[in-house]
Amino acid sequence: MVAKIVSGKNIRGILIYNENKVEKGEAILFMASAFAGDIDKLKLVQKAERFNKRTMLNPSVKTNALHITLNFHPSDQLDSEKLQRIVSEYMEQIGFDQQPFLVYLHEDTHHPHVHIATTNIRSDGSRIDIHGIGYRRSEQARKSIEQKYNLTVAGCRSLDNSPKIKPAVYGEGPTKKTISNIVTAVMKQYRYSSFPEFNAALKAFNITADRGGEESVMYQKRGLIYSILDDHGNKIGIPLKASAIYAKPTLDNLEKRFDKNRTERKVFREQLKDKIDGVFNSYESITKTGFELALQEIGVTADFRRNQQGRIYGVTFIDHGTKSVFNGSDLGKAYSATALTRSFGDRDIPVTQLGKTLEKTTSKYFTSNDSTGKIHLETPQKTGYLDMVLSRSDQGFMQPTVKKKKRRKKLQQHL
Protein backbone atom coordinates (compact mmCIF):
# COMPACT_ATOMS: atom_id res chain seq x y z
CA MET A 1 0.00 0.00 0.00
CA VAL A 2 1.24 3.47 -0.85
CA ALA A 3 -0.10 6.38 1.21
CA LYS A 4 0.38 9.97 0.10
CA ILE A 5 -0.75 13.13 1.89
CA VAL A 6 -0.90 16.54 0.18
CA SER A 7 -1.85 19.57 2.26
CA GLY A 8 -3.49 22.62 0.76
CA LYS A 9 -5.54 25.74 1.31
CA ASN A 10 -8.61 24.89 -0.77
CA ILE A 11 -10.85 21.96 0.19
CA ARG A 12 -13.22 22.86 -2.62
CA GLY A 13 -10.56 22.14 -5.23
CA ILE A 14 -10.07 18.66 -3.79
CA LEU A 15 -13.82 18.02 -3.86
CA ILE A 16 -14.19 19.26 -7.42
CA TYR A 17 -11.42 16.98 -8.64
CA ASN A 18 -13.08 13.92 -7.12
CA GLU A 19 -16.67 14.86 -7.98
CA ASN A 20 -15.59 15.37 -11.58
CA LYS A 21 -14.27 11.81 -11.57
CA VAL A 22 -17.64 10.61 -10.26
CA GLU A 23 -19.46 12.50 -13.00
CA LYS A 24 -17.27 10.85 -15.64
CA GLY A 25 -17.96 7.40 -14.22
CA GLU A 26 -14.32 6.98 -13.16
CA ALA A 27 -14.98 7.01 -9.39
CA ILE A 28 -17.72 6.58 -6.81
CA LEU A 29 -18.35 8.28 -3.49
CA PHE A 30 -17.58 5.31 -1.27
CA MET A 31 -17.58 6.39 2.36
CA ALA A 32 -18.22 9.42 4.56
CA SER A 33 -17.58 10.42 8.16
CA ALA A 34 -19.24 13.17 10.24
CA PHE A 35 -21.74 14.07 7.54
CA ALA A 36 -25.35 14.19 8.72
CA GLY A 37 -28.24 12.97 6.59
CA ASP A 38 -28.14 11.23 3.24
CA ILE A 39 -24.68 12.05 1.96
CA ASP A 40 -25.49 10.57 -1.43
CA LYS A 41 -28.12 13.27 -1.91
CA LEU A 42 -25.86 16.18 -1.00
CA LYS A 43 -24.72 18.47 -3.80
CA LEU A 44 -21.14 19.59 -4.23
CA VAL A 45 -21.85 23.01 -2.78
CA GLN A 46 -23.33 21.41 0.35
CA LYS A 47 -20.35 19.12 0.83
CA ALA A 48 -18.00 22.07 0.46
CA GLU A 49 -20.05 24.11 2.93
CA ARG A 50 -19.74 21.33 5.54
CA PHE A 51 -15.97 21.65 5.38
CA ASN A 52 -16.13 25.45 5.15
CA LYS A 53 -18.08 25.68 8.42
CA ARG A 54 -15.36 23.66 10.10
CA THR A 55 -12.43 25.64 8.69
CA MET A 56 -14.11 28.94 9.62
CA LEU A 57 -13.82 27.91 13.27
CA ASN A 58 -10.15 28.89 12.93
CA PRO A 59 -9.78 31.26 9.95
CA SER A 60 -6.19 32.10 10.91
CA VAL A 61 -5.10 28.63 9.76
CA LYS A 62 -4.46 28.92 6.03
CA THR A 63 -3.31 25.35 5.34
CA ASN A 64 -6.49 23.57 6.38
CA ALA A 65 -7.19 20.94 3.71
CA LEU A 66 -5.73 17.47 3.18
CA HIS A 67 -5.93 15.25 0.12
CA ILE A 68 -4.94 11.70 1.05
CA THR A 69 -4.54 8.83 -1.41
CA LEU A 70 -4.24 5.15 -0.51
CA ASN A 71 -3.00 3.02 -3.41
CA PHE A 72 -3.21 -0.77 -3.56
CA HIS A 73 -1.61 -3.33 -5.84
CA PRO A 74 -4.03 -5.13 -8.20
CA SER A 75 -3.06 -8.44 -6.58
CA ASP A 76 -4.30 -7.29 -3.16
CA GLN A 77 -7.47 -9.16 -2.20
CA LEU A 78 -9.94 -6.36 -1.43
CA ASP A 79 -13.70 -6.17 -1.08
CA SER A 80 -15.85 -3.23 0.01
CA GLU A 81 -16.02 -4.26 3.68
CA LYS A 82 -12.27 -4.81 3.93
CA LEU A 83 -11.53 -1.50 2.24
CA GLN A 84 -13.87 0.30 4.64
CA ARG A 85 -11.99 -1.15 7.61
CA ILE A 86 -8.62 -0.20 6.11
CA VAL A 87 -9.69 3.41 5.54
CA SER A 88 -11.23 3.72 9.02
CA GLU A 89 -8.15 2.29 10.73
CA TYR A 90 -5.77 4.44 8.70
CA MET A 91 -7.66 7.64 9.57
CA GLU A 92 -7.73 6.62 13.23
CA GLN A 93 -4.01 5.90 13.34
CA ILE A 94 -3.07 9.26 11.81
CA GLY A 95 -5.42 11.04 14.26
CA PHE A 96 -8.20 12.02 11.86
CA ASP A 97 -10.95 9.54 12.82
CA GLN A 98 -13.01 12.31 14.48
CA GLN A 99 -12.67 14.65 11.50
CA PRO A 100 -15.23 15.03 8.71
CA PHE A 101 -13.98 13.25 5.61
CA LEU A 102 -15.18 11.91 2.27
CA VAL A 103 -13.73 8.84 0.58
CA TYR A 104 -13.82 8.33 -3.19
CA LEU A 105 -12.98 5.01 -4.81
CA HIS A 106 -11.25 5.64 -8.15
CA GLU A 107 -11.03 3.17 -11.01
CA ASP A 108 -9.21 5.31 -13.57
CA THR A 109 -5.87 3.48 -13.26
CA HIS A 110 -4.78 -0.16 -13.33
CA HIS A 111 -4.67 -0.35 -9.53
CA PRO A 112 -7.45 0.23 -6.95
CA HIS A 113 -7.03 3.42 -4.97
CA VAL A 114 -9.05 5.79 -2.81
CA HIS A 115 -8.90 9.55 -2.41
CA ILE A 116 -9.79 11.08 0.96
CA ALA A 117 -10.77 14.74 1.42
CA THR A 118 -10.58 16.10 4.96
CA THR A 119 -9.57 19.06 7.14
CA ASN A 120 -7.20 19.45 10.08
CA ILE A 121 -9.49 21.82 12.02
CA ARG A 122 -11.17 20.12 14.99
CA SER A 123 -14.75 20.74 16.13
CA ASP A 124 -13.47 23.06 18.90
CA GLY A 125 -11.51 25.15 16.39
CA SER A 126 -8.10 23.82 17.36
CA ARG A 127 -5.65 22.71 14.69
CA ILE A 128 -4.22 19.24 14.19
CA ASP A 129 -0.49 19.62 13.63
CA ILE A 130 0.29 18.10 10.23
CA HIS A 131 3.98 19.03 10.12
CA GLY A 132 5.77 15.86 9.12
CA ILE A 133 2.58 13.80 9.33
CA GLY A 134 3.72 11.60 6.46
CA TYR A 135 6.74 10.28 8.33
CA ARG A 136 5.58 10.63 11.93
CA ARG A 137 2.18 8.95 11.60
CA SER A 138 1.27 7.87 8.07
CA GLU A 139 4.30 5.60 7.61
CA GLN A 140 3.59 3.79 10.88
CA ALA A 141 -0.09 3.40 9.97
CA ARG A 142 0.81 2.09 6.52
CA LYS A 143 3.17 -0.55 7.84
CA SER A 144 0.69 -1.66 10.50
CA ILE A 145 -2.17 -2.00 7.99
CA GLU A 146 0.01 -3.77 5.41
CA GLN A 147 0.91 -6.41 7.96
CA LYS A 148 -2.59 -6.80 9.40
CA TYR A 149 -4.34 -7.17 6.04
CA ASN A 150 -1.51 -8.89 4.17
CA LEU A 151 -1.21 -6.12 1.59
CA THR A 152 1.57 -5.60 -0.93
CA VAL A 153 4.36 -3.77 0.89
CA ALA A 154 5.15 -0.30 -0.46
CA GLY A 155 8.36 -0.38 -2.48
CA CYS A 156 8.13 -4.08 -3.36
CA ARG A 157 6.15 -3.33 -6.50
CA SER A 158 5.53 -0.13 -8.37
CA LEU A 159 2.12 1.37 -7.54
CA ASP A 160 2.39 4.94 -8.78
CA ASN A 161 4.74 7.51 -10.27
CA SER A 162 5.16 9.64 -7.14
CA PRO A 163 8.60 11.07 -6.40
CA LYS A 164 10.77 8.47 -4.67
CA ILE A 165 12.78 11.15 -2.88
CA LYS A 166 11.42 11.89 0.58
CA PRO A 167 10.77 15.63 1.15
CA ALA A 168 12.79 17.22 3.92
CA VAL A 169 11.14 17.64 7.31
CA TYR A 170 13.21 19.76 9.68
CA GLY A 171 13.98 17.91 12.89
CA GLU A 172 13.19 14.46 11.49
CA GLY A 173 16.88 13.65 11.08
CA PRO A 174 20.35 15.20 10.91
CA THR A 175 20.13 18.37 8.83
CA LYS A 176 23.39 17.73 6.97
CA LYS A 177 22.39 14.20 5.99
CA THR A 178 18.88 15.26 4.94
CA ILE A 179 20.14 18.08 2.71
CA SER A 180 22.96 15.98 1.25
CA ASN A 181 20.69 13.07 0.32
CA ILE A 182 18.03 15.20 -1.37
CA VAL A 183 20.40 17.53 -3.21
CA THR A 184 22.47 14.61 -4.48
CA ALA A 185 19.38 12.70 -5.67
CA VAL A 186 17.86 15.70 -7.46
CA MET A 187 21.21 16.67 -8.97
CA LYS A 188 21.70 13.19 -10.49
CA GLN A 189 18.11 12.14 -11.30
CA TYR A 190 16.39 15.25 -12.65
CA ARG A 191 16.89 16.93 -16.03
CA TYR A 192 17.23 20.69 -15.50
CA SER A 193 18.91 23.18 -17.81
CA SER A 194 19.41 26.20 -15.54
CA PHE A 195 20.01 27.07 -11.91
CA PRO A 196 16.40 28.30 -11.38
CA GLU A 197 15.09 25.02 -12.80
CA PHE A 198 17.36 23.03 -10.49
CA ASN A 199 16.14 25.11 -7.57
CA ALA A 200 12.51 24.54 -8.54
CA ALA A 201 13.10 20.78 -8.45
CA LEU A 202 14.74 21.09 -5.03
CA LYS A 203 11.81 23.14 -3.74
CA ALA A 204 9.47 20.24 -4.49
CA PHE A 205 11.34 18.39 -1.73
CA ASN A 206 11.53 21.35 0.71
CA ILE A 207 15.13 22.31 -0.10
CA THR A 208 16.47 25.52 -1.63
CA ALA A 209 19.83 26.54 -3.09
CA ASP A 210 21.01 30.10 -2.40
CA ARG A 211 23.77 32.10 -4.10
CA GLY A 212 23.31 35.14 -1.89
CA GLY A 213 22.78 38.71 -3.04
CA GLU A 214 24.49 39.87 -6.23
CA GLU A 215 26.71 42.20 -4.21
CA SER A 216 27.66 39.54 -1.66
CA VAL A 217 31.08 37.90 -1.50
CA MET A 218 29.47 34.46 -1.86
CA TYR A 219 27.78 35.45 -5.11
CA GLN A 220 30.94 37.03 -6.52
CA LYS A 221 32.91 33.86 -5.73
CA ARG A 222 30.15 31.65 -7.20
CA GLY A 223 29.46 30.09 -3.82
CA LEU A 224 26.34 28.07 -3.05
CA ILE A 225 24.57 26.99 0.15
CA TYR A 226 21.58 24.71 0.68
CA SER A 227 18.82 25.04 3.30
CA ILE A 228 15.69 23.18 4.40
CA LEU A 229 12.35 24.95 3.89
CA ASP A 230 9.46 24.86 6.36
CA ASP A 231 5.76 24.49 5.48
CA HIS A 232 5.60 28.18 4.55
CA GLY A 233 8.62 28.09 2.24
CA ASN A 234 10.93 29.83 4.72
CA LYS A 235 14.50 28.69 5.37
CA ILE A 236 14.98 26.85 8.63
CA GLY A 237 18.03 25.43 10.40
CA ILE A 238 21.71 25.76 9.58
CA PRO A 239 22.54 25.94 5.84
CA LEU A 240 25.05 23.61 4.25
CA LYS A 241 27.80 24.65 1.84
CA ALA A 242 27.86 22.89 -1.54
CA SER A 243 31.50 21.98 -0.97
CA ALA A 244 30.50 20.09 2.21
CA ILE A 245 28.32 17.66 0.24
CA TYR A 246 30.05 14.54 -1.10
CA ALA A 247 28.54 14.89 -4.61
CA LYS A 248 29.90 18.46 -4.79
CA PRO A 249 26.76 20.19 -6.17
CA THR A 250 28.65 23.44 -6.73
CA LEU A 251 27.57 25.96 -9.34
CA ASP A 252 30.39 24.88 -11.64
CA ASN A 253 29.39 21.21 -11.46
CA LEU A 254 25.70 21.97 -11.95
CA GLU A 255 26.39 24.05 -15.04
CA LYS A 256 28.28 21.12 -16.59
CA ARG A 257 25.00 19.19 -16.61
CA PHE A 258 22.82 21.86 -18.22
CA ASP A 259 23.54 21.15 -21.90
CA LYS A 260 23.25 17.37 -21.53
CA ASN A 261 20.01 17.66 -19.56
CA ARG A 262 18.57 20.09 -22.11
CA THR A 263 19.11 17.50 -24.84
CA GLU A 264 17.86 14.50 -22.85
CA ARG A 265 14.63 16.14 -21.70
CA LYS A 266 13.46 17.00 -25.24
CA VAL A 267 11.71 13.64 -25.65
CA PHE A 268 9.50 14.43 -22.64
CA ARG A 269 8.44 17.93 -23.73
CA GLU A 270 5.28 16.94 -25.62
CA GLN A 271 4.30 14.49 -22.90
CA LEU A 272 4.33 17.27 -20.30
CA LYS A 273 2.37 19.59 -22.58
CA ASP A 274 -0.25 16.86 -23.00
CA LYS A 275 -0.59 16.58 -19.22
CA ILE A 276 -1.09 20.33 -18.87
CA ASP A 277 -3.54 20.38 -21.78
CA GLY A 278 -5.43 17.52 -20.17
CA VAL A 279 -6.03 19.55 -17.03
CA PHE A 280 -7.43 22.50 -18.99
CA ASN A 281 -9.52 20.17 -21.14
CA SER A 282 -11.19 18.85 -17.98
CA TYR A 283 -12.43 22.28 -16.86
CA GLU A 284 -14.63 24.99 -18.30
CA SER A 285 -12.94 27.30 -15.79
CA ILE A 286 -10.12 26.60 -13.35
CA THR A 287 -8.39 28.62 -10.62
CA LYS A 288 -4.64 28.69 -10.10
CA THR A 289 -5.04 26.55 -6.98
CA GLY A 290 -7.25 24.07 -8.79
CA PHE A 291 -4.72 23.90 -11.62
CA GLU A 292 -1.84 23.17 -9.23
CA LEU A 293 -3.86 20.52 -7.40
CA ALA A 294 -4.93 18.78 -10.60
CA LEU A 295 -1.31 18.64 -11.77
CA GLN A 296 -0.19 17.22 -8.42
CA GLU A 297 -2.59 14.35 -8.94
CA ILE A 298 -0.72 13.31 -12.08
CA GLY A 299 2.76 13.75 -10.63
CA VAL A 300 3.56 17.26 -11.85
CA THR A 301 4.55 20.23 -9.68
CA ALA A 302 3.89 23.77 -10.92
CA ASP A 303 6.22 26.27 -9.23
CA PHE A 304 4.95 29.82 -9.78
CA ARG A 305 7.46 32.56 -8.97
CA ARG A 306 6.43 35.95 -7.58
CA ASN A 307 8.29 39.24 -7.25
CA GLN A 308 8.41 41.34 -4.08
CA GLN A 309 5.09 42.94 -5.01
CA GLY A 310 3.46 39.51 -5.16
CA ARG A 311 3.06 39.51 -8.94
CA ILE A 312 3.59 36.22 -10.77
CA TYR A 313 6.43 36.53 -13.27
CA GLY A 314 7.43 32.95 -14.03
CA VAL A 315 6.51 29.28 -13.75
CA THR A 316 8.51 26.06 -13.80
CA PHE A 317 7.00 22.60 -14.25
CA ILE A 318 8.58 19.55 -12.60
CA ASP A 319 7.38 16.23 -14.05
CA HIS A 320 8.28 13.66 -11.40
CA GLY A 321 7.30 10.80 -13.68
CA THR A 322 9.93 11.60 -16.31
CA LYS A 323 12.22 13.53 -13.92
CA SER A 324 12.18 16.48 -16.34
CA VAL A 325 12.08 20.18 -15.50
CA PHE A 326 10.84 22.83 -17.93
CA ASN A 327 10.36 26.55 -17.67
CA GLY A 328 6.85 27.34 -18.86
CA SER A 329 8.01 29.48 -21.78
CA ASP A 330 10.25 26.62 -22.98
CA LEU A 331 7.11 24.56 -23.57
CA GLY A 332 5.60 27.32 -25.68
CA LYS A 333 4.16 30.80 -25.36
CA ALA A 334 0.80 29.42 -24.25
CA TYR A 335 2.46 27.79 -21.24
CA SER A 336 4.22 30.90 -19.96
CA ALA A 337 3.28 32.36 -16.58
CA THR A 338 1.64 35.37 -18.23
CA ALA A 339 -0.53 33.26 -20.55
CA LEU A 340 -1.49 30.80 -17.82
CA THR A 341 -2.37 33.56 -15.36
CA ARG A 342 -4.69 35.14 -17.93
CA SER A 343 -6.39 31.78 -18.46
CA PHE A 344 -7.25 31.17 -14.79
CA GLY A 345 -10.79 31.83 -13.63
CA ASP A 346 -12.24 32.65 -10.22
CA ARG A 347 -14.04 29.29 -9.95
CA ASP A 348 -13.27 25.65 -10.67
CA ILE A 349 -15.98 24.41 -13.07
CA PRO A 350 -15.27 20.91 -14.42
CA VAL A 351 -16.48 19.85 -17.83
CA THR A 352 -19.24 17.26 -17.42
CA GLN A 353 -20.60 14.78 -19.90
CA LEU A 354 -24.08 16.25 -19.82
CA GLY A 355 -22.95 19.85 -19.89
CA LYS A 356 -24.23 20.42 -16.35
CA THR A 357 -22.31 21.71 -13.37
CA LEU A 358 -21.49 19.22 -10.67
CA GLU A 359 -23.77 21.03 -8.23
CA LYS A 360 -26.68 19.46 -10.11
CA THR A 361 -25.27 15.93 -9.97
CA THR A 362 -27.04 13.31 -7.86
CA SER A 363 -25.64 9.98 -6.73
CA LYS A 364 -27.04 6.60 -7.63
CA TYR A 365 -25.75 5.05 -4.41
CA PHE A 366 -27.45 4.80 -1.02
CA THR A 367 -26.03 4.97 2.49
CA SER A 368 -25.73 2.57 5.38
CA ASN A 369 -24.21 2.72 8.85
CA ASP A 370 -21.87 0.19 10.42
CA SER A 371 -20.26 -0.41 13.80
CA THR A 372 -17.55 2.17 13.09
CA GLY A 373 -20.10 4.96 13.01
CA LYS A 374 -19.15 5.85 9.45
CA ILE A 375 -21.61 6.30 6.60
CA HIS A 376 -20.93 4.15 3.56
CA LEU A 377 -22.27 4.56 0.07
CA GLU A 378 -23.38 1.25 -1.33
CA THR A 379 -24.76 0.04 -4.62
CA PRO A 380 -27.80 -2.23 -4.82
CA GLN A 381 -26.78 -5.75 -3.81
CA LYS A 382 -27.71 -7.22 -7.17
CA THR A 383 -25.03 -5.25 -9.00
CA GLY A 384 -22.07 -5.95 -6.69
CA TYR A 385 -20.34 -2.97 -8.33
CA LEU A 386 -17.85 -2.23 -5.56
CA ASP A 387 -16.72 -5.82 -5.28
CA MET A 388 -16.42 -6.03 -9.05
CA VAL A 389 -14.13 -2.98 -9.12
CA LEU A 390 -12.03 -4.14 -6.19
CA SER A 391 -11.62 -7.71 -7.40
CA ARG A 392 -10.34 -6.88 -10.87
CA SER A 393 -6.96 -8.38 -11.71
CA ASP A 394 -4.03 -6.41 -13.06
CA GLN A 395 -4.70 -7.73 -16.54
CA GLY A 396 -8.44 -7.31 -16.39
CA PHE A 397 -8.56 -3.93 -14.70
CA MET A 398 -10.11 -2.09 -17.62
CA GLN A 399 -11.01 1.56 -17.93
CA PRO A 400 -14.71 2.39 -17.49
CA THR A 401 -16.73 2.70 -20.66
CA VAL A 402 -16.96 6.46 -20.94
CA LYS A 403 -17.31 8.33 -24.18
CA LYS A 404 -14.23 10.48 -24.53
CA LYS A 405 -14.62 14.17 -25.02
CA LYS A 406 -13.04 15.47 -28.20
CA ARG A 407 -9.63 16.87 -27.29
CA ARG A 408 -8.71 20.40 -28.22
CA LYS A 409 -5.96 20.55 -30.78
CA LYS A 410 -4.16 23.43 -29.16
CA LEU A 411 -4.01 24.84 -25.68
CA GLN A 412 -4.21 28.30 -27.19
CA GLN A 413 -7.87 27.72 -27.94
CA HIS A 414 -8.52 27.59 -24.23
CA LEU A 415 -6.54 30.71 -23.61
pLDDT, one tens digit per residue, over 340-349 is: 999 999 998 8
Is 311:374 a contact under the CB 8 Å cutoff?
A: no
Q: Tell me the mean pLDDT in the region 139-153.
A: 89
Same domain, 187 and 289: no
The per-residue pLDDT for 165 is 86
Last residue of a domain, one of 349, 375, 398: 349
Same domain, 188 and 310: no
Q: Tell me the mean pLDDT in the region 137-161.
A: 76
The per-residue pLDDT for 108 is 66
Local confidence band at 352 (pLDDT 50, 70, 90 cut-offs): low
Same domain, 21 and 156: yes
Local confidence band at 110 (pLDDT 50, 70, 90 cut-offs): low
Same domain, 294 and 362: no
Is 363:40 a contact under the CB 8 Å cutoff?
A: yes
Is 83:98 a contact under the CB 8 Å cutoff?
A: no
Share of residues in the chain with pLDDT > 90 (%): 53
Local confidence band at 155 (pLDDT 50, 70, 90 cut-offs): low
Same domain, 375 and 311: no
The per-residue pLDDT for 76 is 80
How many CA within 13 A on the CB side of residue 114? 27
Question: What distance in Å separates the CA atoms of residue 250 and residue 254, rounded to the nearest whole number?
Answer: 6
Residue 20's domain comprises 2-160+355-390
pTM for this predicted structure: 0.52
For residue 340, report the phi and psi dihedrals to the nearest 5 degrees. -65, -45
Same domain, 194 and 309: no
Last residue of a domain, one of 207, 238, 260: 260
Local confidence band at 109 (pLDDT 50, 70, 90 cut-offs): low
Query: Which CATH number goes with the domain that contains 31?
Result: 3.30.930.30
Same domain, 156 and 189: no
Question: What distance in Å separates the CA atoms of residue 115 and residue 71, rounded to the nearest whole number?
Answer: 9
Same domain, 345 and 359: no
3-class SS at 150? Answer: coil
Mean pLDDT of the residues in the chain: 82
Counted domains in the chain = 3
Domain-embedded: residue 93 = yes
Evaluate if residue 116 carries a pLDDT over 80: yes
The C-alpha torsion from 279 through 281 and 284 to 285, rounded to 10°, is 30
Most confident by average pLDDT, 131-135, 354-358, 371-375: 131-135
For residue 284, report the phi and psi dihedrals to the nearest 5 degrees. -75, -35
Domain-embedded: residue 395 = no
Evaluate if residue 154 carries a pLDDT over 80: no
Same domain, 154 and 57: yes
pLDDT, one tens digit per residue, over 165-197 is: 889 999 988 999 999 999 999 999 999 999 999
